[in-house]
Amino acid sequence: MEIKKLNIIITLGFVAIIGILIAQLMWTKQAYNLEDKKFNQTVNVALLEVVEKLSGGKTSFSENPVQNISNDYYVVNINNEFHPELLEHYLKTEFTRFQINTDYVYALYNCHSDQMLYGKFISKHQESPNEKVIKFPKHKNLVYYFSIRFPDKTTYLISSLRFWYLLTFALIIILLVYVYSIYTIIQQKKFAELQRDFINNMTHEFKTPLSSILLASEALTKQDMVRENPKLQTYTSIITDQSYKLNRHVEKILNIAKNDAAGLSLKPQRIALLPFIQEIVDNIRQKNEDLYVKIEIDSNISIIADEFHFTNIVYNILDNSIKYCDTNPVIIISSLKDSKTLYLKFKDNGIGIPAKNIPHIFDKFYRVNTKKSDEVNGFGLGLFYVKKIVQQHNWKISVENNTDKGITITLTLPL
């Protein structure tokens, strides 16, 4: 995907989430205001019922006896004498009936002392009285009245809207995760492009002088002076062999870089497994005279695979078994088949792999830090390439240490 299109998609997604978050915050604020209005109306009705019962229905009012002085403070005009215990009883009864389940404090006005007498803290959640002092200012124009305050009104309203706040919090978390994910994707994309450009440039710069070296060394081997001198033949052979080896490494890096960009293109075909493996082993034996390979594969087994890439898989596995061996390499290639699966095993007598390193050996550029690894040239791309081809074929690969020595690599192929 082009960077410009990706930036447009990211921007639209970011704007959409911000818009949803702002709308959610506005809805939450509106829901709080509606809940506050509903609470005030419910308290007003409940207090009117208390007034009605305290007056016995005998007192008439020209205006509403319940006054909402502030957000959590109400003054109720009784216009007649009343008993504090009776007031508390009616308050509890009516608040329970109207489902006002929050703490409140009431106080009564004493006309003889011209003071507000502190009543009682009524809690829905605890029996002991609350010790905090709550202010009850006097009313200038009333004589027989009481005041009531809800100290935890805001907390009560918020708790009743906890779903809205949880939803808002979830949206904020989603927004943060989205931003972090997009940032990570952009960084990874930039890193991948930088890495791919570097590999392409590096391989191009390597291949030009390598081609010149190979041409020069091939021309050198044809000279009469070199043919007549064994030492010069040896030196020229070393130059040619090492140049070809380095050229194979460069080709491998270039292929992996291209595959990362465009993906692998496979051409599956039916392959008779035994002669296919035998041919690869014979080619490797020509360069490694001390190599012993035992093949235990049924002659009637065939698989569907890309011939070129499957050749590279087998060659990489055998090459690693030879390179990472302190003695004469011994490799046993065997097959095991059940009704649904074919298991192709490569067992060697090499130095093995520490258990902690096995999960990482298929990572790109990863090499196990051992003395033998320092002696063997490589870029840590062989097994990465093998794993990539195996996954492209929808196969599986696993590695385990042998009980005696070396490792066993198992390819799992569905039949």
Which residue, chain included where needed, has tokens 């930039």?
Answer: 190
For residue 62, pLDDT over 70 is answered with no
Q: Give me the CATH number covering residue 365.
A: 3.30.565.10
CA distance 339 to 59: 95
Q: Give the model confidence (pLDDT) of 242-260 as tens digits.
A: 787 777 767 766 666 666 5
- Band (pLDDT 50/70/90 cuts) for residue 216 is confident
How large is the average pLDDT for residues 110-115? 67
Please tell me whether residues 34 and 124 are part of one structural domain: yes
Domain boundary residue among 160, 185, 207?
160
Which residue, chain included where needed, has tokens 């093998």?
Answer: 386
**pLDDT at res. 128:** 47
Amino acid symbol at 287: K
Q: No. of H helices and E strands in the chain?
A: 10, 12
Q: What percent of the chain has pLDDT over 70?
A: 86
Domain boundary residue among 137, 160, 183?
160
**pLDDT at res. 303:** 92
Domain count, the chain: 3
**pLDDT at res. 254:** 67
For residue 263, pLDDT over 60 is answered with no
Asked if 209 and 250 touch (Cβ cutoff 8 Å), the reply is no
Of 141-155, 284-298, 323-337, minimum mean pLDDT range? 141-155
For residue 113, pLDDT over 60 is answered with yes
**Better pLDDT: 170 or 293:** 293
Please tell me whether residues 96 and 184 are part of one structural domain: no
How large is the average pLDDT for residues 62-68? 80
Mean pLDDT, the chain, whole residue set: 81
Please tell me whether residues 167 and 155 are part of one structural domain: no
Largest CA distance in the chain: 137
**Better pLDDT: 413 or 134:** 413
Please tell me whether residues 329 and 288 are part of one structural domain: yes
Distance of CA 82 to the CA centre of its chain: 67
Please tell me whether residues 254 and 300 are part of one structural domain: no
CA distance 148 to 76: 8
Q: What percent of the chain has pLDDT over 90?
A: 13
Distance of CA 277 to the CA centre of its chain: 41
| DSSP per position, 39-97 | HHHHHHHHHHHHHHHHHTT----SS-SEEEEETTEEEEE-SS---HHHHHHHHHHHHHH
Please tell me whether residues 277 and 410 are part of one structural domain: yes
**Better pLDDT: 121 or 298:** 298
CA distance 360 to 158: 51
**pLDDT at res. 412:** 93
Please tell me whether residues 32 and 101 are part of one structural domain: yes
**pLDDT at res. 126:** 57
Domain boundary residue among 262, 282, 297?
262
- Which residue range(s) make up the domain with 321? 268-414
Please tell me whether residues 204 and 304 are part of one structural domain: no
**pLDDT at res. 343:** 93
How large is the average pLDDT for residues 349-372? 83
Strand partners, 161: none
Please tell me whether residues 219 and 332 are part of one structural domain: no
**pLDDT at res. 253:** 66
pTM over 0.75: no
> Distances from the Cα of 241 to the Cαs of 169, 236, 238, 244, in angstroms?
65, 9, 5, 5
Please tell me whether residues 325 and 343 are part of one structural domain: yes
